[in-house]
Amino acid sequence: MGLGGCIILIAVGAILTFATDWDMEGVNLDLVGVILMIVGLIGVTTFSSIARRRRVVMPPATPVVEERHHHRRDGYSDGYGV
């Protein structure tokens, strides 16, 4: 579960806890909402600690190759086309 899923769990838990007044027999929706918020917070902290430990590995720099053109003394640059 990514960061978005954790945030959704927190939002759904907050809605169940603070914004609803439904009564279901055998289910305490306030407790379910609090549990969802706690699980979402644990997920956010776990995700952020894992993301902080990850290091971005940069590929090694490619060497720059310079081309040198040698001009011949007889007026031809490289001998092609003669």
Question: pLDDT tens across 34-57, in order?
Answer: 999 999 999 999 998 887 777 666
In contact, 22 and 29? CB cutoff 8 Å: yes
Note the pLDDT of residue 82: 53
> Which amino acid does the sequence have at 76?
Y
pLDDT in tens, 8-44: 999 999 999 999 888 889 999 999 999 999 999 999 9
- Domain boundaries along the sequence of the chain: 3-53
For residues 18 and 12, what is the distance between their CA atoms, to the nearest angstrom? 10
Higher-pLDDT residue of 65, 27: 27
The sign one gets for the Cα dihedral 35, 9, 40, 16 is negative
Note the pLDDT of residue 66: 75
For residues 70 and 21, what is the distance between their CA atoms, to the nearest angstrom? 86
